[in-house]
Amino acid sequence: MNEVVLALAMIGVAGVGAQWLAWRWSLPAIVLLLVAGFLIGPATGVLSPTALFGDLLRPTVALGVAVILFEGGLSLNFQRIGGVEKAVWRLVLLGAFIAFLLGALNAHYIAELSWPSALVFAAILIVTGPTVIIPLLRQARLERRVSSLLRWEAILADPLGALLAVFMFEGYLVYHGDHGFWVLAIRAVAGLLIGGVGGWALGRGLIWLFVGGRVPEFLKVPLIFVSVMGAYALSDLVLEESGLLTVTVLGLVLGNSRLASLEELKRFKEAVTIILVSSVFIVLTASVQLGSLAEFGLEDLAFILVLLFVIRPISVWVGTIGAHLSWKERLLVGWIAPRGIVAVAVSGLFARSLVEHGAPDGERLAVLSFAVVVATVFAHGFSLGPFARWLGLSSHTGPGLLIVGASRFSVALATKLKTLDVPSLTVDRNWGKLRLSRNAGLTNHYGEVLSEEVENELPLENYSVLLAVTDNDDYNALVTTNFGPLMGRGEVYQFAPSEEQSEKEKFRRVVTLGGRPFLTPEHSYNDLETKIREGWFIKASELTDTYGWTEFQEALPETAIVLMLIDPTRKLRPLNGTKPAMPIAGSTILSLVPCEYAAEREKTS
């Protein structure tokens, strides 16, 4: 009992700890998860999931994968596909079929697997896996088209690859004489119907319950959780692994509905999925036996190299002919195809089954799949960002600023950021106010930033900090409250409310509303607009080893306003009148300087 509790705690701490270190060090999270799992598993023997959990290990992992795929389907909104619908379906259907055929030849002739094992393994490897690709996309910040294509392929190909592996295995059983062809045909049709139609029907049923107010708010998330697990289990009774298709379709149906509580559900599911992805990866890596890794040979290495450098590029280039992708987009997608949890989990299932039905080399599938996962995670995890930047498919070179509210001040700020190569986007629902931004040649968008349409149209992943600087404090609070869960509560800023307003609202305002304060209460919207009209300008000062924060303050005019710090990693930190934490050499400080110092503009700006 105590051992199981300790093991579960260790898995959770190792998984979330690896995610945090990856964020802290700007490394691919999936790489650190592999390292953590290997260290507490095969390397030290501290954790042995197989011995500890026994027969419960596989169904627990399977349910975790089901929830992960459901969350993936939930995040796929057809309005956000980014104009790559044709490419997605060609890649998932035609590209996957080409990858399957070439993969089977590769597994048989190069890895020297028997045909039954080769066909099953080739089907498994068309899965690219959202458990790997989504953390990579979160860090790489690709252009929206490429990001959408990789995300959709990963989530849609997962259940299809698992089902194809089942069909190959069942076909082998027919050939082996274990059951007849019609048994296979009936199970296949029933599995697909339950997976596709059943997932759609369940999704529509849940929408009907929620829209009609037939389920109280506090039971919605628990009901969806139970529905996901129940749908997965029932589908698997008919055809193994068809449950993955069911939960993916269920997620797609709910994700493309207009449920009022959908955003709350997505945020909760995202948190759960991060824990599940971390835990499942740790468990599967820790389950690998060192003895089995010793069997890895040169033919296995050759198999992986052909998979990476021949099969994936060919399947993508042929599969996306006529899909209106540029050669750069096809080149990047043709390289990036990391495998993850589903590949390892499904391989482990079929390895045992193939051996039991007369294919002794089936036991090699588990080792090969783990080797493929490690190779692709390291190769693609470390190369995605640099390769995308080299091709010009990365969103930008550093974190950007999303400015809500067009004004003289926001235009001056965006103009200065542009000279520093820091991307910014100004959004306003007033066409007239955006005129200054348009005339200055700045990136801007006309629309309501709180609307779903704007969220679908804007590449919000390009911007790491939000600054709400309209003339309406309540609207600023609403915007920062809405974007807090998306960008991080510590990355959304608004004008500090006046001291009089703060005193009045101290006992009335909900503390979770609004963002972090930008500047001090006396520097309001009207104050900054007046100063810009009077000729004040924004000055950029770079700190060096000999010109630090103290020297900067001594040189700064007494009435100047320090606005923002850009640290050496290009991270933006709007200020609130206090000294920034540890400003170091290489940082750039933006300040609003009085017009009488305009003579310094040419020297310092």
- Annotate 43-90 with three-state secondary structure: HCCCCCHHHHHHHHHHHHHHHHHHHHHHHHHHCCCHHHCCCCHHHHHH
Predicted confidence at residue 260, as pLDDT, reads: 66
Predicted confidence at residue 592, as pLDDT, reads: 93
Predicted confidence at residue 499, as pLDDT, reads: 59
Q: pLDDT tens digits, residue range 357-407?
A: 777 787 788 788 888 988 998 898 889 889 998 998 876 545 789 999 999
* Residues β-bridged to residue 492: 466
Closest Cα partner for 102 from 337, 294, 388? 337
Burial group, residue 256, by CB count within 10 angstroms (0-12, 13-18, 19+): middle
If one compares 48 and 590, the residue with the highest pLDDT of the two is: 590
Nearest 5°: phi and psi at 225? -60, -50
Question: Which helix (H) or strand (E) covers residue 222, if one does?
Answer: helix 217-238
Q: 3-state class of 143 per DSSP?
A: coil
If one compares 220 and 581, the residue with the highest pLDDT of the two is: 220
Collect all residues with Cβ–Cβ distance below 8 Å to 421 and sequence separation of at least 6.
Answer: 397, 398
Burial group, residue 394, by CB count within 10 angstroms (0-12, 13-18, 19+): buried
Q: Are 65 and 243 in contact (CB under 8 A)?
A: no
Question: Which helix (H) or strand (E) covers residue 426, if one does?
Answer: strand 424-428
Residue 100 pLDDT level (bands cut at 50, 70, 90): very high
Integer Cα distance of 591 and 280 in angstroms? 48
Q: pLDDT tens digits, residue range 498-556?
A: 655 555 555 445 455 788 999 988 899 999 999 999 999 999 999 988 888 888 888 88
**Single-letter amino acid code for the residue at 431:** W
Q: 3-state class of 225 per DSSP?
A: helix
Integer Cα distance of 71 and 272 in angstroms? 9
Integer Cα distance of 364 and 73 in angstroms? 31
Q: Are 388 and 145 in contact (CB under 8 A)?
A: no
Closest Cα partner for 336 from 487, 139, 110? 139
Specify the CATH class of 2-179+276-391 in words.
mainly alpha
Residue 600 pLDDT level (bands cut at 50, 70, 90): low
| Confidence check: pLDDT of 605 > 70 | no
Predicted confidence at residue 82, as pLDDT, reads: 62
Q: pLDDT tens digits, residue range 469-514?
A: 999 988 999 999 888 877 888 899 999 876 555 555 554 454 557 8
Predicted confidence at residue 186, as pLDDT, reads: 76
Q: What sign does the dihedral 492-498-500-501 (CA atoms) show?
A: negative
Q: pLDDT tens digits, residue range 174-228?
A: 776 666 667 767 777 777 787 788 899 999 999 999 888 888 888 888 898 899 9
Collect all residues with Cβ–Cβ distance below 8 Å to 340 and sequence separation of at least 6.
Answer: 30, 127, 128, 129, 130, 131, 132, 133, 281, 373, 377
Integer Cα distance of 424 and 412 in angstroms? 12
Predicted confidence at residue 427, as pLDDT, reads: 94
Predicted confidence at residue 33, as pLDDT, reads: 85
What is the domain partition of the chain in residue ranges? 2-179+276-391, 400-604
Q: How many CB atoms lie within 10 A of CB 24?
A: 8
Integer Cα distance of 250 and 230 in angstroms? 12
Integer Cα distance of 55 and 349 in angstroms? 12
190 φψ region: left (φ > 0), alpha (ψ -120 to 50), beta (else): alpha
Integer Cα distance of 88 and 154 in angstroms? 10
Closest Cα partner for 4 from 58, 42, 56, 61? 56
Integer Cα distance of 518 and 226 in angstroms? 43
| Confidence check: pLDDT of 161 > 60 | yes
Predicted confidence at residue 458, as pLDDT, reads: 72
Integer Cα distance of 143 and 82 in angstroms? 10
Closest Cα partner for 522 from 501, 536, 549? 501
Q: What is the 3-state secondary structure (H, E, C) of 170-184?
A: HHHHHHHCCCCHHHH
If one compares 190 and 432, the residue with the highest pLDDT of the two is: 432
| Confidence check: pLDDT of 604 > 50 | no
Q: 3-state class of 465 per DSSP?
A: strand
Q: Tokens 């990866």 identify what position?
A: 281
Integer Cα distance of 315 and 98 in angstroms? 5
Integer Cα distance of 487 and 462 in angstroms? 11
Q: What are the CA-CA distances from residue 27 to residues 76, 310, 340, 385 (Å)?
A: 25, 27, 17, 10
Collect all residues with Cβ–Cβ distance below 8 Å to 247 and sequence separation of at least 6.
Answer: 66, 67, 69, 70, 73, 199, 228, 231, 232
Helices of type H across 177-216: 181-193, 199-211
Q: pLDDT tens digits, residue range 323-349?
A: 889 999 999 999 998 887 677 767 776
Predicted confidence at residue 170, as pLDDT, reads: 78
Q: Are 228 and 257 in contact (CB under 8 A)?
A: no
Helices of type H across 397-537: 408-419, 435-439, 452-457, 473-487, 499-505, 525-533
Q: What percent of the chain stands above pLDDT 90? A: 26
Q: What are the CA-CA distances from residue 557 to residues 375, 410, 534, 575 (Å)?
A: 56, 22, 16, 17
Predicted confidence at residue 335, as pLDDT, reads: 93
Q: pLDDT tens digits, residue range 71-96?
A: 778 877 776 666 788 898 899 889 99
Question: Which helix (H) or strand (E) covers residue 135, if one does?
Answer: helix 130-140
Average model confidence (pLDDT) for the chain?
83
Task: Say whether domain 400-604 belongs to CATH 1.20.1560.10.
Answer: no
Helix axes 96-109, 298-306, angle to 10 degrees: 160
Predicted confidence at residue 34, as pLDDT, reads: 84
- The mean-pLDDT minimum among 180-184, 278-282, 346-350, 573-577 falls in 180-184
Closest Cα partner for 516 from 484, 561, 538, 485? 484
Predicted confidence at residue 601, as pLDDT, reads: 47
